[in-house]
Amino acid sequence: MSDALDGNARARARRLKLMAFDVDGVLSDGSLFYSDAGIEIKAFNTLDGLGLKMLQQAGITVAIITGRHARCVELRAQDLGIQHLYQAVDNKLETMRLLLAELGLGTDDAGYMGDDVLDLPVMTACAFSATPGDGHALVQRYAALTTGRHGGHGAVREVCEFILDAQGKLAAALAPYLTMASR
């Protein structure tokens, strides 16, 4: 990323109060596994999970807006304390608008991380957008930030730390772990 693009992404991330994420290809690697009983299974990365918790602890609301519905996503959101979970969403932009209205926020306060062309309407409406390094090429073209990591493999954590750093909150988020490590 060029310095100019990085500066623009940082300026956009600096004012975020809400960051929403897609699931398939972002919080997971996009693979869909089905058990013989027809239960959908996804793998989630623990690095991403801690990043989402750090965002929340820093006062940034976290949401999940995804087109598919899977019980495992509900369980993961519960585990991470994410209260704003929207599954089986056909129009992610409309869902984002409803969430912003509920929270009393505007699109200048919001960001979205997606990986495919279905995510472009909501990504381009938000002040900040991000995509994993393996996101669709067109999505990468429109995203304010493209991560070095792939979806389901730490890309979300990279975005979380980028936002925290842009807001001057990363050192405080990491400090408790560094204090423990120095003992």
DSSP designation for 107: G
- 48 belongs to an annotated ligand binding site: no
Tokens for 38, please give them.
């027809």
Q: What is the DSSP string of 4-71?
A: HHHHHHHHHHHT-SEEEE-IIIIIS-S--EE-TT--EE----HHHHHHHHHHHHTT-EEEEE-SS--H
Q: How many CB atoms lie within 10 A of CB 172?
A: 12
Q: Is 152 helix (H, G, I), strand (E, B) or coil?
A: coil
The two three-digit tokens of residue 72, written as one number = 């495992």
The 3-state DSSP class for residue 112 equals strand
Q: Number of H helices and number of E strands within the chain?
A: 8, 8
Question: Is 108 annotated as contributing to ligand binding?
Answer: no
DSSP labels, 18-33: EEEE-IIIIIS-S--E
Residue positions forming the annotated binding site:
22, 24, 115
Residue positions forming the annotated binding site for Mg(2+):
22, 115
Residue positions forming the annotated binding site for substrate:
24
